[in-house]
Amino acid sequence: MADPKKGHSVKFRGEEYWVSRDDILSVASKESPRRINEYFVEIDGKRYPPKQLVRSATGTKQFFDTAAAVRLLQALGFSVSTEKEA
């Protein structure tokens, strides 16, 4: 299992990206959360959509689904919740 502190590799449409927990926290410190559809990650009291965090951290324009973003965030040690659970 990957060490969440060191990061995790993810592929979107054949392009590989390396993302660390610090990359995600950096995005959260600089951006305002967008609208939540169903899933979110809470960071410093704010709820962020998983795709927003991953897209900004990787800089990708590639298509990827929410499930891929959720898996990456969980691999990095983040807890992903749904609006139904909140």
| Interval 9-26: pLDDT, tens | 788 888 888 899 999 999
Q: What is the number of domains present in the chain?
A: 1
In a domain, 3, yes or no: no
In a domain, 6, yes or no: no
What distance in Å separates the CA atoms of residue 32 and residue 67, rounded to the nearest whole number?
22
What distance in Å separates the CA atoms of residue 4 and residue 62, rounded to the nearest whole number?
23
Q: How far is CA 14 from CA 42, 43, 47, 77, in A?
A: 29, 29, 29, 24
How high is the pLDDT of residue 3?
57
Cβ contact 9:72 at 8 Å: no
Question: Which residues constitute the domain of residue 46?
Answer: 11-82
Cβ contact 68:16 at 8 Å: no
Confidence label for 1 from pLDDT (cuts 50, 70 and 90) = very low
In a domain, 1, yes or no: no
Q: Which residue has the higher pLDDT, 67 or 10?
A: 67
In a domain, 55, yes or no: yes
In a domain, 4, yes or no: no
Q: Distance between alpha carbon 10 and the CA centroid of its chain, in Å?
A: 11
